[in-house]
Structure 1
Amino acid sequence: MTSNDRYSSDEVVYTTITYGAVDAIATITLNRPHARNGFTLAMADELGAALTAADRDAAVRVIVVAAAGDYFCVGMDLEESALDDFTDPEWVEPATRVARPMTNSNKPIVVAIQGPAVGVGISMTLAADFRLASDRAKFGFVFGRRGLFPEGGSTWFLPQLVGLAKAKEWMLTGRVFTAAEALAAGLVTSLHAPADLLPAAYALARDLADNVAPGSAAVIRRALVAMAAQGSPEAAFARPPRFRGVAARDLPDLDEWLSGR
């Protein structure tokens, strides 16, 4: 596989990732193993496009994000990423091009992290719902050691996931830490042997696709993020029901429901 290989979906041509959807599960795979899946501006745009495509596809119920090779993503590939025009008023920071559609997706997102995920390689996944990792994965919020500011909304997401004290420790020291430490702090959902990682990710995705109502999943994942910023549960308590369904239009197929199909 070379960087010149091209994959397309819905008129979008992908050169740094692959995208496909089968049986209600969309798979987005970082595909620059020759560069340890280093993050580029093209990858940022393609990941955002693929996440949006999966979210808009009514046949997709769950999104899996994975990576080719031994590394998940070692951060920004500075050799391949010339700076684009950040003076443009429409400019969006590259990691945000991934994190924003991931945050706003109506579909649950499962990330399978098989190896090192550093800098943007981990920060861009924080908006996902599940991060499964191999026991050989390593993580690092190394921005301070590069003279950079953490991007992709990670200064909001990380404290929500692991608490303020741990977020400060990891981000201020910029040290690389183990998968076991990530699990203990709540950054990852579960650890697996490398050969078992993708099967576990797809088993979780399959369960979500088969057994969780799509509408419920969409409302739950977005409400949890919205409520996290409220400071108290009062906003959740104060949500009155609004019944907008129309019986003639919105009733389920009762014959199918009663037969258990």
Structure 2
Amino acid sequence: MDEPSILLTNDDGIESAGLRALSDTLSDVGDVTVVAPAEDQSAVGRSLSHDVTVHEHELGYAIEGTPADCTVAGLGSLVPDADIVVAGCNQGANLGAYVLGRSGTVSAAVEATFFDVPAIAVSMYIPVREDAAFDELQMNPESYAEAARATEYLVERARGTGVFDDADYLNVNAPVAEWGPAEMAVTYPSEVYQMTATREDNGDIQLQDRIWERMAEGDIPDPEGSDRRAVVDGKVSVSPLTAPHTTEHHDELDALAETYDPTA
């Protein structure tokens, strides 16, 4: 198989260490073009702009917009022949079903699937006790080595094996490289929800994801087979996912629709 054309994007911004780590590693297995946000766009989900400004960059292109903007601009104009989209490596994990729609990293991968281009979202778990603490971290570039190694492996092999016949995209979460070599586990997004809302003395409400503290302590309620359990156990989690939000027809809703009276 010929070397793939790889569109590399992220949500941490084009100057992030995680994106640079993937760019350097993936250049060994394909032709990498970066189309990434000019600034940090973390947790913007699939927000989309009407038009975006494009700046040439040594790695490719910096977009004044969101991760979804980058995927659309990349596949629609800048790198229309891309064989695969890789989003990451995000500083901080993207684990659990409730996180997927928030993540700019995952959203960039989801956007690619509507172009019928396979995609991989890549994130690195960092053991911190508060989700806000990620903003203060300055990670060593070498910390991304395990995530980069797993991504290189999947980019090089997954396209030719039929993996993307059944999965639209892969959500990959790897531990920091300092934990040592990590096995790869196929997982599903955990359904455990740990968000809390605490009313403060001044009347404000603090929203916090308590799972980070539990993860840092190694005490999580997530079952075997889930993405969060795999990462806490020191494994590279790979969740094969589909993008369209669809479900099966069922009799109860059909019955409601049939008895609806538009004149009532």
Same fold (TM over 0.5): no
* TM-score normalised to structure 1 length: 0.29
Bigger relative contact order, structure 1 or 2 (CA pairs below 8 A, ≥6 apart): 2
Give TM-score scaled by structure 2 length.
0.29
More strand by share: 2
